[in-house]
Amino acid sequence: MTVMADMSEDVRFAVERGDISVALVGDVMLNRRIRMHEESRFLQLREILRGADLAFGNLETVVRRPDEGVPTLSYATYTSMHPSLLAELEWLGIGLVSAANNHAYDYNESGALATITHLEEAGLAFAGIGRNLAAARAPGYCDTRGGRVGLVAATTTFYPWSRAGAARSDATGRPGINPLAFGTVFTVPPDALEVLRRLSRDLGFAKEAERKRKHFYSDAEAPQGGADEVHFLDHNFSAGPAARFARPADPADLAANMKSLGEARRQADWVIASIHSHDFAHASAATASRQAEMTEPAECVVEFAHGAIDAGADIVAGHGSHTALGIEIYKGRPVFYGLGNFIFQNETMTSFPADSYERFGLPSDATPADFLDARTDKDRKGHPAEPAFWQGMIAVCRFEGRVLRRIEIHPTDAGYGLPRPQRGRPVLARGETARAVLERIDRLSRPYGTNLAREGDTGVIAV
């Protein structure tokens, strides 16, 4: 009896002392088997993920069989993976995923429901999508040797129809994602504001809003504006010293997500807040000439990140930029504003809806390869033309006694410049590619006061 009591005490102490290692990766777009590959740098990558107490990633795809889901209207790549490929993620070591992102609704409501069902059947812990809004906002939980981990996942980038709807006593909810909406607030010089006011009047926009307010629309849906404000083409403009914009989070969505994080804090040993966003701040939008140069997260993302840690999150995992962004240590907890792409197999889908081909004037007998060639000008633009989209990271956060002690950044290389069927599967980056990834992360982290040291091909943040 004494031996059994000692064993039980040892097991409890291993969790109670507050030690855990969490590996984080960014966007996962998997549509092919990967476990047959044997390169040393691929197997080493797997060992890093499996060596952590938990590995997390953003599952940016619909999980469906070919007979499940119908395509929505989208200007992005339609992504989906067969349910059997979830076993590949388990083999790789990923045990917790976010499903809140702009691709979750690529195959409409039925596709979202298929994703939920297949994740549940596979036993892969997830958050950010649900059969109604409460379920989409609820934490997902994963038990690890370092304790129970709770996840709340939201996205700022989504089509309006993909937002989950609340259930009522007299109406069912709508399946979808957990949203973090934001409003874009524009300021322009006073003379420019008067031009917008005159255009709104002359083009009939002001009268259209007046008619809506007198009909079925709320005042919020058809704003009247004031002396120093004009509502023009679905945006609010106010007078200011210069032309710029800000993107603050929707207060109701932000508060609801903080409430979910508070629930996770009380129900789990560790809490991860996940935020997916393609949205950037004014400084990036006004200066970047290419997508990979967008580096400053929108205000709503920073609000979410700081609020999440204030609400009890231990880690904030940001993704959606498809490039590595900066790292902030806020109140002793890490914020990863962009983990970059991890598995990026969005170019080997076996079918696309007719809408995709019609966008580029392709005939009805065009093939997926024809569409991809047209969209990227045969790899001369878009993702294939930018190294940053193929360079990501595995970030390993190590806590001891509940204190963040160290972050290790392992750069990954998904095959920039390789032929289409070969690129998209990551290996550990080495040499010049590793240096480029670490230099980018270091440069973008310095504005937050974070310095990234080098240990060979690995970056280290000692906290």
Mean pLDDT, consecutive 10-residue stretches, the chain (463 aa), reads 49 80 98 97 98 98 95 86 98 98 96 98 98 98 97 96 95 96 94 94 88 83 78 89 95 98 98 98 92 96 98 98 98 98 95 93 96 95 96 97 97 97 97 98 98 97 93
Q: Same structural domain for residues 30 and 119?
A: yes
For 166, the domain range is 18-180+270-346+386-462
Q: Same structural domain for residues 227 and 151?
A: no
Query: Is residue 375 situated within a structural domain?
Result: no
pLDDT score, position 182: 96
Q: Same structural domain for residues 49 and 96?
A: yes
Query: Is residue 251 situated within a structural domain?
Result: no
Number of domains the chain is built from = 2
Nearby residues of 258 by Cβ (< 8 Å), 6 or more positions away: 307, 308, 310, 311
Q: Same structural domain for residues 49 and 122?
A: yes
Instruction: Please tell me the distance from the alpha carbon of residue 329 to that of residue 450, in angstroms, as a whole number.
Output: 7
Query: Is residue 176 situated within a structural domain?
Result: yes
pLDDT score, position 1: 42
Q: Same structural domain for residues 175 and 315?
A: yes
Query: Is residue 351 situated within a structural domain?
Result: no
For the chain, the first-to-last Cα distance in angstroms comes to: 42
Q: Same structural domain for residues 167 and 29?
A: yes
Query: Is residue 125 situated within a structural domain?
Result: yes
Q: Same structural domain for residues 390 and 442?
A: yes
Query: Is residue 30 situated within a structural domain?
Result: yes
Burial call 257-278: b when 16+ CB within 10 Å, e when fewer = bbebbbbbbeebbbbbbbbbbb
pLDDT score, position 12: 62
Instruction: Please tell me the distance from the alpha carbon of residue 57 to that of residue 444, in angstroms, as a whole number.
Output: 21
Which CATH number do you get for residue 109? 3.60.21
Q: Same structural domain for residues 278 and 133?
A: yes
Q: Same structural domain for residues 136 and 204?
A: no
- Phi (first) and psi of residue 4, to 5 degrees: -60, -40
pLDDT score, position 14: 65
Burial call 49-60: b when 16+ CB within 10 Å, e when fewer = beebbbbbbbbb
